[in-house]
Structure 1
Amino acid sequence: MNPFQPEPRGARAACPTLRPVDPEGDADKGSASSISTERPASSISTERPASSISTERPASSISTERAWCLLVPQHAQGARTARHRLGAELDGTVPSALLGDVEMVAAELLGNAVRHAPPLPGGMIRLTWLLRTSPTAHTVEIRVTDGGATGPPRVRQVGPAAVDGRGLFLVAALATEWGVERDGLGQSVWARLVHPVRHTLTVR
């Protein structure tokens, strides 16, 4: 089952575009290669308004959701930019073990989109992630969208001496579930990672 809801038409256009910083450029010039740190609330934060949360439940049982999306150029530096942005947004919000797994899965999905698929229009790839927090678990759902490879991604069986080919094998090992979705605009590979909340029992 795909954990993501169908994306509204035009959602890709609403995502902010991040371009890697040019280390030789002048940050004060505000060139197109600079990373924009301003995220339009209408296109990134999908926190549910307070009116959508039932007030009949105690505060400790309330679940919250936030989602982000961004576009980066389809090359290795663009993929690193996306991965670092994801890590910066989730750092301190989810357990460190979950964050490490999320960053590894994102790196593999972004790497596959760079190496094995054509880009979206404009030479871009799209990264979307959703954080769902409940009293029992932290859940992070990741989606990477590209122009769509000729064949669907598959987990490959590789030998111990192989230098590559383990990307989706790692994704399948770390994610609770993952899958592939195609539409008229491209192909998305998504993964869901769940980290249970461990409650400490205090004995007096």
Structure 2
Amino acid sequence: MTQTVLRIDASARTEGSVTRQLADTVIARLDPAHLVTRDLTDTVPQIDGAWLAANMTPADARTPEQQDKLALSDRLIDEVRAADTLVIATPIYNFGVPSSLKAWVDMIARAGITFKYTETGSVGLLDDKRVILVIASGGTEVDGPIDFATPWLRHVLGFVGITDVQVVRSDRLMVDAEASKARADADVRKLAA
């Protein structure tokens, strides 16, 4: 049984969102003991120069303002650390992820905290986690030649140490909604609770 699920919703649509509906189905299948939800429509800000300066300052030398600047990032990382499974529900917008999801990734990918650099390259520090990507698109085929969202998500998750990634897709909805639903149903059935 899945113990703790962190659900990330990236769709700008709060009503009628395919990814939100499909994530509900996935969460029900997982039947977690504890669920934490992070809705990215509630605004995760873009990183800026002050955020970068705070992040580059050693923790014990940060000013109170710098600590405040990193407080949300620290909370987001704590949410990821506490979860054994992440369900990231995202549409594909213009062949990539929504900017809100990119902002979330920028907040959680921090050197020395979620990954480290070594002489042989970077090493992710968030291992022993599973991610279920719930992805919907109007015309883009998930993992097709013009899908830049799914491979990017796999890469960035691997960068922070998460390599157990499964995909539940409802893609090409505008092309063939019935086939899209069938693919999603089949993907959900493959998930282990």
TM over 0.5: no
Structure number, greater radius of gyration: 1
TM-score, normalization by structure 2: 0.31
TM-score, normalization by structure 1: 0.30
